[in-house]
Amino acid sequence: MLNPKRLLQFTATALAVTGVCALAGTAAMADDKPAIEVITHAGAGGGTDVNSRMMMLRSRRTLKQDMVVVNKRGGGGAAAMNYFMTRPADGNTVLTFTVGHAIAMASGKTKLTVADMAPIARGTNDPQILMVNCKTSAYKTSEEFVDGMKGGDSLKFGGTSTGTIDHLTAYLWSKSLGVDMPTYIPFKGGGELATQLVAGSVDVAILNLSEAAAPVEAGDICPLVVLAENGMEPIPDAKTSGELGIDLILSTTRGFVTHAGVDETRRAELEAGMMKAMDHSMYQAYLVNSGLDATSPQASEAWGKQIQSMVGAFGPALKDMGLIE
């Protein structure tokens, strides 16, 4: 099970190592190739920033090229995407693309399109999980939960903010069951949401495993449905949406793209280098300490399909929800 304290220690160490590698890498590689810009929308130390730096730890070696983080905050990822559009398509610019970017793109907050990007590799994939209060919920199994919703049970769902992946999950989940959108209550963060689920403020919480590790381990929160192709080893009793006959896969995900105009040989070089780097024990340890596993990194084909699926599904959903025109 995820150890939050160990993850914080691991992250701090990784950031320090990345800084040292950047200095050393610049001296060793500057004469050969320009540094690759890795653009993120998060501030230093944020989840996306850390994921980018963890990928970079070994990619510098596999690609034999220095890499630097460029933080562009604002607009839910729009600032980062707009900056990405200004960079040349020479294979020396990488955008860390997240589910938030997919929502911003589907919302029309940027002119960047799926066709403007060439997928490289996925870095992390944290499935959306529907969880209940173990002690007070009427649902003890995944099947009981699905049957209850289909039968018209009125439930309060909790998620993080509005117009987010959690808000979209509540809508798309109910739509997949053929029922009306449940009452959705937004909270500031996953930690607060997990606390409020235990307190009884909501009936169902939409969380990632990493956000609810402690109360899940304590037996206060029970994960029922994993919106992913594969189940998760720490929560074997939670059924996947596919196992329940529901065609819905949603996750908090991060990966890497470059410009669509980049030469295919160069794009393939980036993919091979990053995939090799993320197969290294250092990156794999980062995944484990984040509550994830070795299935997170995926090559360009699967990652590209996931990007298209997210943007394609989010646009119509946001319109139906009345969040965009």
Domain limits, the chain: 4-126+252-320, 129-240
**CATH code 3.40.190.10 for 129-240:** yes
Measured between its terminal Cα atoms, the distance across the chain in Å is: 42
Note whether 95 and 80 are within 8 A (CB): yes
Residue range 313-323, pLDDT digits in tens: 999 999 999 99
Sequence-distant (6+) residues with CB within 8 A of 70 are: 37, 38, 39, 40, 83
What is the band of 120 on the pLDDT scale with cuts at 50, 70, 90? Answer: very high
Band of residue 32 on the pLDDT scale cut at 50, 70, 90: confident
Residue 6's pLDDT band, with cuts at 50, 70 and 90, is: very low
Place of tokens 């991060």: 254
CB 158 within 8 A of CB 202: yes
The radius of gyration computed from the CA coordinates of the chain, to the nearest angstrom, equals 20
What is the percent of the chain with per-residue pLDDT over 90, rounded to a whole number?
82
Q: Is residue 223 helix, strand or coil?
A: strand
Q: Which residues pair with residue 158 across a beta bridge?
A: 185, 205
pLDDT(30) > 60:
no
| Amino acid letter, 285 | A
Q: For residue 33, name the pLDDT band (cuts at 50, 70, 90).
A: confident
CA quadruple 172, 174, 178, 183: dihedral positive or negative? negative
49 near 42, Cβ under 8 Å?
yes
> Is the Cβ–Cβ distance between 207 and 201 less than 8 Å?
no
Q: Let me know if domain 4-126+252-320 sits in CATH 3.40.190.150.
A: yes
- Give the pLDDT band (50/70/90) at residue 31: low
Strand 204-207 to strand 183-187: parallel, antiparallel, or no bridges (unpaired)? unpaired
What one-character-per-residue DSSP string does 99-131 give? HHHHHHHHTTS-S--GGGEEEEEEEEEEE-EEE
Examine domains 4-126+252-320 and 129-240 and report if their fold is the same: yes
Helices (H), the chain: 4-29, 47-63, 78-86, 99-106, 142-150, 165-177, 190-199, 213-218, 264-278, 281-289, 300-320
pLDDT at residue 29 in the model: 52
Q: What is the pLDDT of residues 72-100, one digit of tens each?
A: 999 889 999 999 999 999 999 999 999 99
Q: Has residue 8 got a pLDDT over 60?
A: no
Contacts of 27 (CB under 8 A, 6+ apart): none
Helix (H, G, I), strand (E, B) or coil at 254: strand
The answer to whether 189 touches 175, Cβ cutoff 8 Å, is no
**Residue 138 pLDDT > 70, yes or no?**
yes
